[in-house]
Amino acid sequence: MTAIRELTYRDGLTGPDDRRALRRLLLDIFDLDISPIEELGLTDPTYRAFSYLDPTGRIVANAATFTLPLIIGGKPVNAMGIQSVATRPEWLRRGLSHDLLERALQWCDKSARLTFLMTSIPRFYQPMGFRVVPQFVHVGSAPAASPLASGCRPLNLDAGEDRRLLARILRHRVPVSARFAVDGLAGSFVLNLFDQTELSAWYIEPRQAIVVTAERSDGTLCIVDIAAAVMPTLKQVVAGFGEQPKQVEVHFPPDRLAWNATATPVQTSTVLMVRGDLEPLEPFMIPATASI
């Protein structure tokens, strides 16, 4: 990369000015406000930013890594994730992103054998050793269930009490699947829930569970994610909602839901990519709330 003398390279942004600069970059480029996870104390301590700053301290290009704890085939797997890859428009086509990604990937390769990312431009990452991993939703008939007396209620994410409830449950949640699941990343759950307006969060109090759904107009109950200390069965979830859906679509492997379903390939504008030797897997999907 041609040296750009007016820029300063830095990794591991830790000071308050650095954090404000990163917050500003993410807001400017992605319209992503990370203040909710800071308010709830859910920032990821493993997040490491690789950045170029201009003389004013403004970040003009960034790539970040984080520890990505996974459950694959019933076993914990240490992986890494790449996110927050951004360059301000006036600094594009200077090689900044490639340079920062090379530095970030060197860091990842020292820490784990697998590195994941999600992107809408997979061709950009393929020369760096990344390949697309297919994802699947699971679809099947809804189990018959008698409505719970207390049912469920929507979470009001603007209310402090519901935000604290969400944070408390996320800190103690179990992985949604033993086949393939992200184990933790409460901050990502919150950010994605706030950022993706098509998602709704519901609290089923008898199960102490938060169920995230996506709207469907055909009578399908679309379950994107579930956060609970004890994973409920699908029958218990349906009972919490009270109405019998025509069918159910689940965005993670349903092995802990006590429910039979058919895996269906899904096409999305954003794809999951992996770098490293990932063994063949049973059909899975990373929920939108765990999007990296």
Domain positions in the chain are 8-133+268-282, 137-265
CB 100 within 8 A of CB 63: yes
Tokens of 111: 């820490």
Using DSSP's 3-state secondary structure scheme, residue 192 falls into: helix
pLDDT tens digit at each of 292 positions of the chain: 444 778 999 998 767 888 899 999 999 999 999 988 988 899 999 999 999 999 999 999 999 999 999 999 999 999 999 999 999 999 999 999 999 999 999 999 999 999 999 999 999 999 999 999 999 999 999 998 888 767 789 999 888 899 999 999 999 999 999 999 999 899 999 999 998 889 999 999 999 999 999 988 888 999 999 999 999 999 999 999 988 898 999 999 999 999 999 999 998 889 999 999 988 788 999 999 988 7
Q: What is the Cα–Cα distance from 278 to 144, expressed in whole angstroms?
A: 38
CA–CA distance, 240 with 154 (Å, rounded to integer) = 12
**CATH superfamily of this structure's domain 8-133+268-282:** Gcn5-related N-acetyltransferase (GNAT) (3.40.630.30)
Answer yes or no: same fold for 8-133+268-282 and 137-265. Answer: yes
CATH number assigned to the domain covering 137-265: 3.40.630
